[in-house]
């Protein structure tokens, strides 16, 4: 867990969420809005509720449940490192213990976040409300839509406000609701925070966007104790499979019924011919974009009683490199570009510039570690580089 209060919210990380809460004082509806971004996936987070006890906490109920929903969804899809943008201080201070949790709602929120932070890295970033930050403004709008304070205006001109008041709400109602949203009330009783938002009577709307053909995978960076020294285990891929002869970490494709963590453990056990009980996962590490557009999730773990075994159909051999030696190595670094390649049937005549349209090129770093066993590079090289940067 890190405090990133100085993080520039206009320079967004790969995995992040914006959430906000709202309260409609006339209808007594509380709700949340926001969205979670994971690479090229986007999940809309929105819901509302009318429970009388929850309504006593007004917008705070929405603020808390919105943050919980973002974290719950991040855990569900296997995100290891999440930046959570919020504008209500309690979202961070209750989670980190800086504020006392006197009421049931905040106690259960703190317990939920404590459990989540054992399984993933959460970095909190406070943003000032209504200061024009796009993500915060969008979360605010979604929260107000959830509580019925505004509705989506279509066909509006550029100078028009993006909010219109729903019929039946007077200016006094809106003013009172906004005043209620500004009041930090910690006075609600809820069900256990480990339940989903459905338990609170929420209707949740989420959108998952995946590009066709993307394949997600997960790997383990295994630590092995050998002769009193901590070592990192690497594999050399069998020459008869794709990317044969390259050096990699144990891992593979995430199956439909698996989490990334389950995949990392299963693949490690299969490739090294060991029991899953010999694998102790220490912590999630990074999520990187793979060359095919899918995500690569990584975990740090230890192997006990490893006896240099491997499955020959997938692995040509394994080798160990002392962590101390790796930290002293200076990799060769360079950059490459990934660009869009379109087919012959691409309708250039429909886009500005036609065939001269400049598709954006995405730059990515490459790190090369020269070892006695071959060169470590590609995603394995980048994972190794990032891991060594955070080693104590």
Instruction: Tell me how many helices (H) and strands (E) the chain has.
Output: 9, 18
User: Residue 192 class from Cβ within 10 Å (0-12 exposed, 13-18 middle, 19+ buried)?
Assistant: exposed
For residue 255, give the DSSP letter.
P
| Overall average pLDDT of the 338-367 stretch | 85
* 21 contacts 62 by C-beta, under 8 angstroms: yes
In whole angstroms, what is the distance from residue 72 CA to residue 197 CA?
9
Length of the chain: 392
Q: Does position 150 have pLDDT exceeding 60, yes or no?
A: yes
* 196 contacts 287 by C-beta, under 8 angstroms: no
Annotate 148-186 with DSSP letters as a single string: TSEE---S--TTS-S-EEPTT--HHHHHHHHHHHTS---
Tens-digit pLDDT profile for residues 109-118: 999 999 888 8
20 bridge partner residues: 33
| Predicted pLDDT at 183 | 44
Confidence of residue 211 (pLDDT cuts 50, 70, 90): low
List the one residue out of 221, 217, 288, 212 whose CA is nearest residue 253.
217
| Predicted pLDDT at 304 | 94
For residue 28, give the DSSP letter.
T
Query: In terms of DSSP H, where are the helices of the chain?
Result: 52-55, 59-76, 90-96, 104-119, 134-147, 171-181, 260-272, 323-328, 378-390
3-state secondary structure of 43: strand
Confidence of residue 10 (pLDDT cuts 50, 70, 90): low
Tens-digit pLDDT profile for residues 118-141: 888 899 999 988 888 889 999 999
Tens-digit pLDDT profile for residues 32-58: 999 999 888 899 999 988 888 888 888
Residue with structure tokens 């259960």?
108
3-state secondary structure of 356: helix
For 152, the token pair is: 């989506």
Q: Does position 237 have pLDDT exceeding 50, yes or no?
A: yes
Q: Does position 186 have pLDDT exceeding 90, yes or no?
A: no
Tens-digit pLDDT profile for residues 215-230: 789 999 999 999 999 9
* 13 contacts 83 by C-beta, under 8 angstroms: yes
Considering only the C-alpha atoms of the chain, give the largest distance between any 2 of them, rounded to a whole number of Å.
76
List the one residue out of 26, 25, 9, 95 whose CA is nearest residue 57.
25
Confidence of residue 259 (pLDDT cuts 50, 70, 90): confident
* 96 contacts 124 by C-beta, under 8 angstroms: yes
CATH of domain 217-390: 3.90.79.10
Tens-digit pLDDT profile for residues 281-330: 988 888 887 766 688 999 999 999 999 999 999 999 999 999 999 999 99
In whole angstroms, what is the distance from residue 33 CA to residue 217 CA?
30
Say yes or no: do domains 2-200 and 217-390 share a fold: no
Confidence of residue 344 (pLDDT cuts 50, 70, 90): confident
Q: Which CATH number fits domain 2-200: 3.30.420.10, 3.40.50.150, 3.30.300.30, 2.40.37.10?
A: 3.30.420.10
């Amino acid at each position: 867990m890190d405090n990133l209060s100085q993080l520039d919210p206009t320079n967004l990380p790969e995995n992040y969420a914006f959430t906000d809460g709202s309260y409609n004082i006339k209808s007594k509806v509380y709700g949340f809005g926001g969205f979670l971004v994971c690479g090229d996936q986007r999940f809309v987070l929105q819901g509302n509720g009318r429970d009388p006890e929850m309504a006593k906490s007004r917008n705070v109920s929405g603020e808390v449940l919105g943050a919980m929903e973002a974290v719950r969804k991040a855990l569900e899809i296997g995100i290891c490192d999440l930046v959570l943008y919020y504008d209500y201080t309690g979202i961070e201070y209750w989670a980190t213990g800086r504020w006392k949790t006197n009421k049931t709602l905040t106690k259960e929120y703190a317990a939920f976040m404590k459990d989540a932070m054992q399984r993933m890295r959460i970095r909190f970033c406070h943003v000032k409300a209504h200061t024009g930050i796009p993500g915060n403004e969008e979360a605010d709008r979604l929260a107000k839509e959830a509580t019925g304070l505004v509705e989506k205006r279509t066909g509006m001109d550029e100078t028009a406000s993006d909010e219109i008041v729903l019929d039946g709400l007077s200016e006094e109602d809106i003013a009172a609701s906004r005043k209620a949203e500004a009041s930090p009330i910690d006075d609600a009783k809820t069900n256990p925070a480990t339940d989903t938002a459905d338990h609170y009577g929420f209707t949740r709307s989420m959108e998952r966007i995946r590009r066709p053909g993307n394949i997600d995978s997960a790997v383990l960076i295994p630590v092995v104790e050998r002769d009193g020294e901590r070592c990192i285990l690497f594999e050399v891929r069998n020459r008869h499979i794709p990317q044969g002869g390259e050096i990699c970490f144990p891992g593979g494709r995430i199956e439909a019924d698996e989490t990334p963590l389950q995949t990392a453990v299963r693949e490690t056990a299969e490739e090294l011919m060991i029991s899953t009980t010999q694998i102790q996962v220490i912590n999630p590490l990074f999520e990187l974009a793979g060359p095919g557009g899918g995500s690569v999730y990584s975990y740090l773990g230890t192997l006990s009683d490893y006896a240099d075994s491997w499955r020959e159909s997938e692995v040509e051999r394994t080798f160990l490199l002392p962590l101390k030696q790796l930290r002293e190595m200076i990799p060769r670094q360079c950059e490459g570009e990934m660009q869009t390649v379109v087919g012959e049937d691409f309708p250039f005549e429909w886009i500005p510039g036609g065939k001269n349209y400049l598709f954006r090129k995405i730059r990515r770093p490459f790190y090369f570690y020269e070892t006695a066993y071959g060169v470590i590079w590609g995603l394995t090289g980048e994972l190794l580089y990032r891991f060594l940067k955070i080693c104590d």
